[in-house]
């Protein structure tokens, strides 16, 4: 399968096998039932280069300090301290303020939801500290737009699977998957991203992947090679 292009059928099979193995993921995980969509924006920034458990603690601290709303976050003079558990707090506070300022100035979700995905993505990428991955997470989970999040887990799995190779290029992999995926089906990409994260954490580890118990090993270049090598060694 090396260097194969994913097709609609092979991508669907990839998705369905992972879903059968791990079940529905029900992402994005949120703590604030009153402002779940805005919490996704906050979480997308805080999770940059940080473990999700740290993000959850930072969001819990923000909730203790007041409502999880853009105006409230902008009013917090101690915002860096409130998000300290999520890593480089001064940098992320600056990024959060830029995102909140844009959000307020543009009229919030009521106005932003009316914009097409390409415009939203372009505006997000123009904000301080918002890269391609963060923008696509926001598009997918906060605005329910079909977008593939080509994060490090996706690259790891799809390199082994044979769907990408060479120098990692975010846009190239994103477009390759979106061209094969169902048009307009945000729910598909929601589950696909969450399932990839689950698979990377439970089976397709960075080092010593558990190919023997992987539901994709018979379709995966790396899995087939690993299983064949183990059988020859017996």
Distance CA 24, CA 44 (A): 21
Annotate 70-101 with b (16+ C-beta within 10 A) or e (fewer). beebeebeebbebbbbbbebeebbebbbbbbe
Helix (H, G, I), strand (E, B) or coil at 113: coil
Distance CA 23, CA 210 (A): 19
pLDDT tens for each residue of 110-143: 999 999 999 999 999 999 999 999 999 999 999 9
Helix (H, G, I), strand (E, B) or coil at 183: coil
Between helix 170-180 and helix 8-22 the angle, nearest 10°, is: 90
Q: How far is CA 191 from CA 4, 20, 142, 144, in A?
A: 23, 12, 14, 12
| Residue 63 pLDDT level (bands cut at 50, 70, 90) | very high
**Contact yes or no for 150/159 (Cβ under 8 A):** no
Tell whether domain 8-25+148-233 is in CATH 3.40.190.80: no
Of all residues in the chain, what percent carry a pLDDT higher than 70?
Answer: 97
Q: Which pLDDT belongs to residue 229?
A: 76
Q: Nearest CA to 174 among 219, 221, 140, 130?
A: 140
Predicted confidence (pLDDT) at residue 74 exceeds the cutoff of 50 = yes
Predicted confidence (pLDDT) at residue 2 exceeds the cutoff of 50 = no
Q: How far is CA 65 from the centre of its chain?
A: 27
pLDDT tens for each residue of 139-178: 999 999 999 999 999 999 999 999 999 999 999 999 999 9
| Residue 1 pLDDT level (bands cut at 50, 70, 90) | very low
Q: Which of 72-86, 195-209, 210-224 has the lowest mean pLDDT?
A: 210-224
For CATH 1.10.1670.10, the residue range(s) in the chain are 8-25+148-233
Distance CA 5, CA 87 (A): 37
**What's domain 36-142's architecture?**
Orthogonal Bundle (1.10)
| Residue 82 pLDDT level (bands cut at 50, 70, 90) | very high
Predicted confidence (pLDDT) at residue 230 exceeds the cutoff of 80 = no
| Residue 226 pLDDT level (bands cut at 50, 70, 90) | confident
| Residue 43 pLDDT level (bands cut at 50, 70, 90) | very high
Q: Look at phi and psi of residue 68 and say left if phi exceeds 0, alpha if psi is from -120 to 50, else beta.
A: beta
pLDDT tens for each residue of 205-220: 999 999 999 999 999 9
Of all residues in the chain, what percent carry a pLDDT higher than 90?
Answer: 90
Q: Which pLDDT belongs to residue 150?
A: 97
| Residue 234 pLDDT level (bands cut at 50, 70, 90) | low
């Amino acid at each position: 399968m090396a260097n194969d292009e994913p097709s609609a059928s092979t991508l669907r099979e990839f998705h369905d096998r992972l879903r059968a193995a791990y079940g529905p993921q029900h992402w994005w995980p949120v703590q604030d039932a009153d402002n779940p969509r805005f919490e996704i924006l906050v979480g997308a920034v805080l999770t940059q280069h940080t473990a999700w458990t740290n993000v959850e603690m930072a969001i819990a601290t923000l909730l203790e300090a007041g409502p999880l709303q853009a105006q409230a976050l902008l009013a917090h003079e101690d915002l860096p301290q409130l998000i300290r558990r999520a890593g480089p707090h001064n940098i992320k506070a600056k990024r959060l303020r830029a995102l909140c300022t844009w959000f307020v100035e543009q009229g919030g979700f009521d106005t932003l939801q009316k914009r097409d995905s390409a415009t939203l993505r372009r505006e997000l990428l123009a904000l301080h500290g918002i890269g391609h991955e963060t923008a696509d997470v926001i598009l997918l989970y906060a605005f329910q737009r079909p977008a593939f999040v080509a994060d490090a887990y996706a690259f790891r799995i799809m390199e082994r699977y044979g769907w990408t190779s060479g120098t990692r290029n975010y846009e190239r992999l994103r477009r390759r998957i979106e061209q094969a995926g169902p048009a307009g089906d945000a729910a598909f990409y929601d589950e696909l991203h969450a399932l990839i994260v689950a698979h990377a954490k439970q089976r397709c580890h960075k080092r010593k992947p558990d190919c023997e118990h992987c539901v994709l090993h018979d379709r995966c270049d790396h899995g087939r090679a690993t299983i064949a090598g183990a059988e020859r060694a017996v």
